[in-house]
Amino acid sequence: MKVEDKLELITSNLEEVIGLEDLKEIIEKRPLKVYWGTATTGKPHIAYILPLLKIRDFVNAGCEVTILLADIHAVLDNLKAPLELINQRVKYYELLIKALLTELKVDLSKIKFVKGSSYQTSPEYTLELYKLTTLVTEHDSKKAGSEVVKQVKHIKLSSMIYPLMQCLDEHFLGCDAQFGGTDQRKIFTFSQKYLPMLNFKKRIHLMNPMIEGLTNQKMSSSDFFSKIEFTEKKEEIVKKVKKCFCEEKNVKGGLFQIIKYVVMPVLEIKKIPLLVKDLEKNEYNFFNFYELQTDFLNGKIHPSDLKTAVSEALELIVSPIRNILENNLEIVKEAYPSEK
């Protein structure tokens, strides 16, 4: 693959790139080393497909990809994962992410999975963390984590350690670039400032857009009605999509973001169109999001017909993953014992 094609594949659909010139320089010589981290907290939902689609691009561009299962971060973020459950949550996340990547036709042999605690408790890492605490101000740490860690009235010290560790992970994972959503931007700029103070090189930062949930807010594990989980049955998916905001000739809101960033890209990989049927039983096959958007803006598609089509598409996407989870119920129950 030509360097120009690699660059296009690596940066396509990203909201922002910090360090573009460094990126170009590296891919002219060797594969880019990229890492994406996810704290193993609540059950992942369909918005996780968005970064995994980008990871697919990285793999196809010949990048060396590491996925960090950040178990210690999950505890530091206001105990979103209880300490006694972190190993079980890691198993759940790894099972789910591998299942999703397989559905997206990603070669798993090209991806390295790393558990955070496998190196974050080492003497070398701990010493660098201590060094970093002597450099970072309370203000900078709080600011860095303000869009990522849970915000509470009386902030815990653990939530201020969180961004410091995410910064250090770039060095200890040996990456050239860290990938994440735009909600990570403050941590990324924090890293740009502080890693050089430890005599470590600045990393490249690649940022995906964040998509709205069904309630037109950020899709979140803590907001039940904003998300669709991979354990949900078809009836639950239909019910949630039916309730979400969608009015005639208006393409704003979470539903259209889910169609654009999740539904259409996955259907494209599966080589299946989005099938919309109207009240007169006319059928419209859409392979392209912008054609769908244009027809909706022109009033050719009614919101209720679109919601029906999206529900069917989401069931098509969710059902293979749901089946895998149902066949691994022990892992699911051990990771989330309080849920029915």
- pLDDT above 80 (res 280): no
SS3 205: strand
Would residue 39 be called left, alpha or beta, if left means φ above 0 and alpha means ψ between -120 and 50 degrees? Answer: beta
Q: Containing H/E element for 219?
A: none
| pLDDT tens for each residue of 113-138 | 999 999 999 999 999 999 999 999 99
Instruction: Round to whole Å and give the CA distance between 123 and 205.
Output: 27
- Please indicate whether residue 298 or residue 338 has the higher confidence score (pLDDT): 298
CB 13 within 8 A of CB 182: no
CA-based torsion, 233, 236, 241, 244: positive or negative: negative
Q: What's residue 282's pLDDT?
A: 84
Residue-wise pLDDT for 102-111, tens only, equals: 999 999 999 9
What fold is seen in the domain 224-335?
Tyrosyl-Transfer RNA Synthetase (1.10.240)
Q: What is the mean pLDDT of residues 6-26?
A: 98
Q: What does the pLDDT read at residue 217?
A: 64
Average pLDDT score over the chain? 94
In whole angstroms, give the CA distance from residue 205 to residue 34: 9
- Asked whether residue 38 carries a pLDDT value surpassing 70, the answer given is yes
Q: Which residue has the higher pLDDT, 216 or 277?
A: 277
Instruction: Please tell me the distance from the alpha carbon of residue 17 to that of residue 25, in angstroms, as a whole number.
Output: 14
CA distance 74 to 117: 11
Question: 219 pLDDT band (50/70/90 cuts)?
Answer: low
Please tell me the predicted confidence (pLDDT) of residue 125.
99
Residue 20 CB-half CA count within 13 A:
10
Of the CATH numbers 3.40.630.30, 2.40.110.10, 3.40.50.410, 3.40.50.620, which one belongs to the domain with range 3-208?
3.40.50.620
Q: Could you tell me which residues are beta bridge partners of residue 115? A: 69
In our burial notation (b when 16+ CB lie closer than 10 A, e otherwise), range 298-311 reads eeebebebbbbbbb
Q: Are 61 and 176 in contact (CB under 8 A)?
A: no
Domain range list for the chain: 3-208, 224-335
Q: Using alpha carbons, list the distances in angstroms from residue 174 to 66, 168, 249.
A: 10, 10, 48
pLDDT for residue 302: 93
Structure tokens at 331: 């892992």
Q: Is pLDDT above 80 for 151?
A: no
Residue 295: exposed, middle, or buried by beta-carbon count in 10 A (0-12, 13-18, 19+)? middle
Distance CA 7, CA 88 (A): 37
pLDDT-derived band of residue 152, with 50, 70 and 90 as boundaries? Answer: confident
